[in-house]
Chain A
Amino acid sequence: MKPPTTSPTLDVAAIRRQFPILAREVNGNRLVYLDNGATAQKPQPVIDAMAHYYRELNANIHRGVHHLSQQATHAYEQARETVRAYIHAEQAAEVLFTSGTTAGINLVATCWGRKHLKPGDEIILSTMEHHSNIVPWQLICQQQQSRLKILPITHAGELRLDAFQELLSERTRLVAIAHVSNTLGSVNPVARVIELAHAQGALVLLDGAQAMPHMRVDVQALGVDFYAFSGHKMFAPTGVGVLYGKAALLNDMPPYQGGGEMIERVTFDKTTFAELPHKFEAGTPNIVGGIGLGAAIAWFAQFDAEAVTAHEQDLLAYATAQLSALPRVTILGTAPHKVCVISFLLADAHPFDVGTILDQQGVAVRTGHHCTQPLMDFYNISGTVRASFAIYNHRAEVDALVAAVARAANMLA
């Protein structure tokens, strides 16, 4: 007989103690940090790993014969291996370190697009994309005389898969979609998107910036062609991110930037390029960033993924209920499958005013268009107030948010 399964729960109080910044006061109140969609805070092990690197290991990597350089190289490549194992890439060479999601998407748009996009070819994006998953494609489409097709969404904030099937054609070369919407929190049915796109012979790039801090992603199980994400939204430092790409695709693409690190042999007549991943990593990389990302993933991976989901879904349900109970609050993004991101409007109050009054009460949220202006146009609004949660948030912070919003409602009425 199968033993009864006990679902492990998170000790959120213990997790919070690992984030020194959460003890801070802001405007005389204990900080309530609900801007995790913009960037997450860093736990002590990440801060320590970065300090350790500068105290003990700092050297340039890959070329040095001396001890420090070898140790630093080992630490950096170990971080790459940590990422590989975590996202379950087949080989470490498929894990390219970048400066973030934006850089990863630009790399694919530029290197893959220049080689493969022809006049009349089509790329499909959705209405809910972040500007960094729109503008790189616009730029390359202009250069290659290719076209963007926009996959519409429902009012609740879900991709319209019926329309997707109609948009897909033999002209579709690539589909670039957010795994999770940064503004609405919708978790998109990416497995189905990939299945449909592949059936049509199109590649799929997923913008994983908002998914990685909340869920385990297995790139091989998904069968995704490119997956881009940022370190800083998943408890790692800023300025580092990852582009995963299938080796065959990456090998086939020309290099991005030229420089040191990415070459095999340079003469003035001809340069041959290094193997993956170095072909796409010109110049001295963000070494401490890579090491910090490895530490962040090692830290995050210690928690049971289901327990993380259960905790964050509890916060989502609680916050949604509490905010909805306030008069004059409207929540945007009501897809059944969401991460703990809540965009809302307070009657006709300007989000800037709401955000400013929340800040006075120590509650950090984001206001504005969240770099998704086409999505704002879809809802015919100029912006929202967005509360975005992470593993370390707890119900007391939902209460603080709700009280702060209620006060803002009074002041701005």
Chain B
Amino acid sequence: MTINQIQDAIIEEFGCFNRWMDKYEYLIDLGKKLPIIEPQYKTEQHLIRGCQSQVWLRAELRNGAVTFTADSDALITKGIIALLVRVLDAQQPMDIAHTELYFIDAIGLQAHLSPTRSNGLLSMVNTLKSIGEKFSKAH
């Protein structure tokens, strides 16, 4: 599936939730299924620092596509990372670098990506894209 097909699928899934609780419970569940970064990579090098919740992210280039593993100390943050990883995992570096992540707004999670200092999500999105950029140049 392309990045945008996955984004559209997520928007459709979230469309079923009428109550905020269902949405957040789903996010918390998603977080539990996130491909977790291996402990030896939970280092300063892979840390995206937020004021409150921390995010660890590792990317590898495998056969021309990028594989992500990640973790966070907060469950909701972890759920949002799981969504981002689902959208961008196994995609081409160039596509990752140039994608527009419109699903975040569409499912009402944009507040989590505002430039508050409370979580590392905004910088994580920027990091994801710059990883795509870096790998597409190296490719």
Contacts and interface: CB of A to CB of B under 8 A. Distances in A.
Interface of A: 27, 349-353, 356-357, 360, 367-369, 382-383, 407, 411-412
- Shortest 4 CB-CB distances between A and B: which pairs? A350-B74, A352-B74, A368-B52, A352-B52
B28 A350 contact: no
Given A368-B51, A368-B52, A383-B52, A352 B24 contact: no
B52 A367 contact: yes
9 contacts: A350-B74, A350-B75, A353-B28, A356-B24, A356-B112, A360-B20, A360-B21, A367-B52, A407-B21
Given A350-B74, A352-B76, A352-B118, A360 B24 contact: yes
Contacts of A367: 52, 118
A351 B24 contact: no
B24 A350 contact: no
Interface string B27-61: 01000000000000000000000011100000000
A27 B77 CA distance: 19
B74 A353 contact: yes
A27 B75 CA distance: 21
Interface string B4-16: 0000000000000
A383 B51 CA distance: 10
Nearest to B28: A411
Given A350-B53, A352-B118, A368-B51, 18 more contacts: A349-B75, A350-B52, A352-B76, A352-B77, A352-B119, A356-B24, A356-B112, A357-B24, A357-B76, A360-B20, A367-B52, A367-B118, A368-B118, A382-B52, A382-B73, A407-B21, A411-B21, A412-B28
Contacts of B76: 352-353, 356-357
B100 interface: no
A353 B73 CA distance: 10
